[in-house]
Structures are given as C-alpha cells and as structure tokens.
Chain A
C-alpha cells in the first residue's frame, strides 16, 4: 500500500501565507490521484475543503486553494486567520484504494 506523507507541523503568522504539501511514495502526485484536503479541529469530524486537486465546496474559504506543485499536491492558505489553526489531511486515490496522509498540524501564531 502506498504511503502518503505530509509535513508534521507548520506555523504561519496571522495574515501570512503557508503551503502544505502531500507526497506519494509511488512517485509524483497527479490529477489522477484526485487529491482531497480536509480540515479537522479538536473534537470535530473532518471537513472537506478541496476535492479533485483544486475544486472547492461552497463552504471552503476563498483564501484556501489546492494545486499540484513540484510533484506533490498542495494546499495554500493566503491570509491565514486564527480559525485556520487545525489539523489538515490529504487523501489520494490509487485505483480502488484511497490513502490518507498523516496530517499537518497548522499553528497560527
């Protein structure tokens, strides 16, 4: 089974920009992995932010965007807000299987 790797932790200043990445042990991440991104706050279920690389749900803040960057999936927060402090998980699809990354703990400080 593939392993999906994310930065364990990142810190961003309020109003700053940060990019989280999602790497695959099998090689470059492509649109064919249909990357998803989820946000989870303590005690809550995850919330889906991005699907199929760069598509947003109606509740996804405009400051959040998804992309492919240097062979990885990427989630960029532009103009970070205190409420963006959370755990972020990516999900990649490998044919019939789906694999979550280990998550990035984002601190806004």
Chain B
C-alpha cells in the first residue's frame, strides 16, 4: 500500500521557520519527481515546489522562491520542505504529492503562521 505521511507542521510566529517531512512507502520513491502543494482553509490547492528524482533540479512558485527549500533523501524515502521567513499567507495544509504522474497524495500537515 502506498503511503505519504507528512509531519513537522505547527504554530509558528511570523518570520519563523519550520521543516516539513514526508515519509514515502509502497512505491519506488527514488524514481519519481515529488512535489509540495499547499491549501489554505476553504481555498483551492496551490503548487509550491517540486524536485527531480535525483534531487538535482528544483522548481518553486514565485510566492515562496528564496524562502522555501525542497530537498529529498532517497536512502530514507523522505521528502523535505524547509520553510523560512514565514508569513501569515503561508498558513495552510501542506501535502506531498508524487509517484507516477502525481498519482499519490498525502493527507497533509497544518502550518499556522500567527503571533
């Protein structure tokens, strides 16, 4: 059974940092592009970032470029997202997505940016 399990979310003050993790199982993680997608309460999903299977290429949405960093550890089957300089508008559920043609979605971890 395929599983993507996110962790690391929580309440953080504006300007703070968090590191999200996504543990993958049930498929060959190292073969696939992986992405982060966020969704604010009551809103639609927003694409955040993606990373090549070997980690050698990364892409970011303009809204997070320079503040967020995506990475992966294929030995641990884990995807990461480092969130820095957090703002209120970053408040959302963050989900990892991947597998062949974005077949698999995690349930997400909630990041709340508030003072």
Contacts and interface: CB of A to CB of B under 8 A. Distances in A.
Given A1-B62, A45-B108, A100 B103 contact: no
Interface size class of A (residues with CB under 8 A): 20 to 34
B105 interface: yes
B101 A87 contact: no
B95 interface: yes
A96 B51 CA distance: 11
B44 interface: yes
Contacts, number: 47
A48 B44 contact: no
Interface stretch (A18-26, A51-59, A69-77): A51-59
Given A38-B45, A98-B47, A103-B44, A48 B102 contact: yes
A55 B111 CA distance: 33
Interface string A34-52: 0010101000011110011
A38 B35 CA distance: 15
